[in-house]
Amino acid sequence: MNMNETPAHQLPHWQLARDADGIAWLTLDSPGVSTNTLGAAVIAELDTRIRALEAEPPVALVFRSGKDAGFIAGANVEEFTQLADGAAARAMVQKSWDLYARIEALPFPTLALIRGHCMGGGLELALACRYRLAVDEAATRLALPEVMLGIVPGWGGMLRLPRLVGPAAALDMMLTGKQIDARRARKMGLVDDAVPPRVMEDAARILVRSGRPAHRPGFVQRLLGGPLRGVAANAARKQVARKAPREHYPAPWAIIDTWQHFGGNSLAVPPGHPASFEHLLGQGTAMNLVRVFFLQQRLKGLGKHDGGEAAFSPRHVHVVGAGVMGGDIAAWCALRGLTVTLQDQGVDRIAPAIARAATSFGKKFRGDRKQVRFALDRLIADPRGDGLRRADVVIEAIFENLDAKHALLRDIEARARPDALIATNTSSLRLEDIATALAAPERLVGIHFFNPVAMMPLVEVVSTEHSDATAVRRATAFVHGLDKLPLPVKSAPGFLVNAVLGPYLLEALRCVEEGIAPETVDRAATDFGMPMGPIELADTVGLDIALATGRALTGAQEVPARLQSRVAAGKLGRKSGEGYYRWTDGRAQKNPPGDVPAGLTERLVAPLLAATQRCLAAGVVADADLADAGVIFGTGFAPWTGGPLHYAARHAR
């Protein structure tokens, strides 16, 4: 591309160049960072660049990124935490709102060339352009995830997105924070086209000068954005009410109110209104959710390449045990691009795991048979364990029996490569006890996944004081490479997550024993913000497992009689069709819950808080932030609280 570069001078973030056709290319490439974000300096510099283009208009303008990581990750969250109050937030939003309005009003066509992530304020910038062109590859994702931080898309997203794609799709995106891939974005009208990387620049030139009219949603969606706006808003409120109580999560309610009553302009919301910046920042949830965001970023940072052994990038994983956990671990590894050999006592035991994987891959790839076949080709039934000798990582995932694990691990150590990482997925046995079977016990690490593997983001990386540090680093890097959140924990009964869940579930079952309806107990937990009630969770895990692990992890001598009787009768929960609830088509059949008695929520949560504090004191995790992160991402503990220890500290004042 023959371009005349504009000297950078004091404008290091946005590089401006004009090509021979008179098209201006404005490239965001912030120095010293791997990801572009829209901090105050970047916004101020963009304002300067736009003023220059207003003074000397090009034929057209294309926004793009100079980063391999993606387009724009959104606003700078660090700067958000430094806002003094709602008034400061309002002033910050005003600058970007005005700038994006000027971009939308430019007298020449504009286009956002989107490759990789396009989030938050980055998507709002793209929405201010006349055209949007997405690069059709797996890394391209578009989203307005502000609601996940307890805030709203204040730079024009609530105004422009519903106008572009219709209120139903727009509200769904804004209320969930879901990410949209390039093809889905094209289908819904969020982008004008999706093209391969090799033609993206030529396609951008053609589209930005095409004169193509802007996309318009269908007639019904236009009605829902106009005379029937209240209908769409009420439908959205019903959706939100099922998952996000207003008292804990005000942001989704604020999005609906702002769109319905204030035309999508958050600056028009009066300071005293529940949808205002002042209320959202003053209520506390936003800062707690920002805390959760940084906790997640810390976990994501574990296992990244640091110039040492953490650069471990395995290509072949061997999993022994094709039950639900082992099979699903194998399927996830194959989905993430690894070659996986799956071993069990016969093909008949492996076949159900591969069938489950095929169903899962079909949903993941939305019926794209080629992609499903590629993923299935990477998942190889291996009843004789031939793949063990070639594997970079070997994961033992058989039933929780110490003698059986010892026999298996002796065989694994004898046959595996000397440099292979050997791991166990045990959930309740001590790593020290399992490792005694090995000639080199320091070689064994725990890599503890949670069920369902595809849904649960956290994986505990377990070590002992004698564990080889290199093996632990490699295990952490392996988990990171699977797009999971690695949590380093020390070997202890239940590690962290199960150790805090055990007392919580036991207390819930005791409440039922005392005559409180299971539905009421579950409602107390879900109203607090747990993703699932503890009784339904016990049924989902399996009452036999809850009974066994409960005894082991809580030391309780008195197990609830109803739990024992159900297990004795074979009523094990979801897997048997009946436990505390009857189960139909994978769903618990519940009666309407009663009113939650005063103090019940606090009673349920107290054992979990105490157990988290005990784990921290015992050194199971290194610090309080990691404890909070582990319990949030491993149990779903109400994110609005900022984590159990954070919540306990605030309520102890």
* Catalytic residue IDs: 427, 448, 460, 498
The Cα–Cα gap between 304 and 310 comes to 6
Q: State how far the Cα of 489 lies from the Cα of 448, in Å rounded to an integer.
A: 10
Tokens of 79: 């700067």
Identify whether the C-beta of residue 302 lies closer than 8 Å to the C-beta of residue 340.
no
Integer Cα distance of 258 and 363 in angstroms: 34
What is the C-alpha separation between 534 and 395, in angstroms, rounded? Answer: 30
Task: Give the type of residue at 47.
Answer: D
Distance CA 119, CA 71 (A): 8
Q: HSE on the CB side for 363, CA within 13 Å? A: 6
Length of the chain: 653
What is the C-alpha to C-alpha distance for residues 542 and 437, in angstroms, rounded to an integer?
A: 29
Question: Helix or strand or coil: residue 1?
Answer: coil
Classify the phi-psi angles of 400: left when phi > 0, otherwise alpha if psi is within -120 to 50, otherwise beta: beta
d(CA 461, CA 487): 6
Cα separation, 427 vs 553, whole angstroms:
11
Lookup: tokens for 379: 């998942």
Give the position of tokens 């590690």: 495
List for the chain the helix, strand, coil content (%; round to 5).
Answer: 50, 15, 35
Q: Are strands 14-19 and 23-28 parallel, antiparallel or unpaired?
A: antiparallel
Place of tokens 């727009």: 170
Residues in CB range of 353: below 8 A, 6 or more apart: 322, 323, 326, 327, 328, 330, 331, 342
Question: Cα(516)–Cα(603) distance, rounded to whole angstroms?
Answer: 13
* DSSP conformational letter for 23: E
What pairs with residue 17 in β-bridges?
Answer: 5, 25
Whether 431 contacts 464, CB under 8 Å: yes
**Side-chain half-sphere CA neighbours of 46 within 13 A:** 28
Instruction: For residue 530, give Cα distances in angstroms to 300, 508, 546.
Output: 23, 13, 18
- In the block, tokens 């869940």 appear at 501
Tokens (6 digits) for 406? 């010892």
Judge residue 628's burial from the number of C-beta atoms within 10 Å of its C-beta, 0-12 exposed, 13-18 middle, 19 or more buried.
buried
Half-sphere exposure of 38 (CA within 13 A, CB side): 26
Taking the C-alpha atoms of residue 85 and residue 92, their distance in angstroms, rounded to an integer, is 11
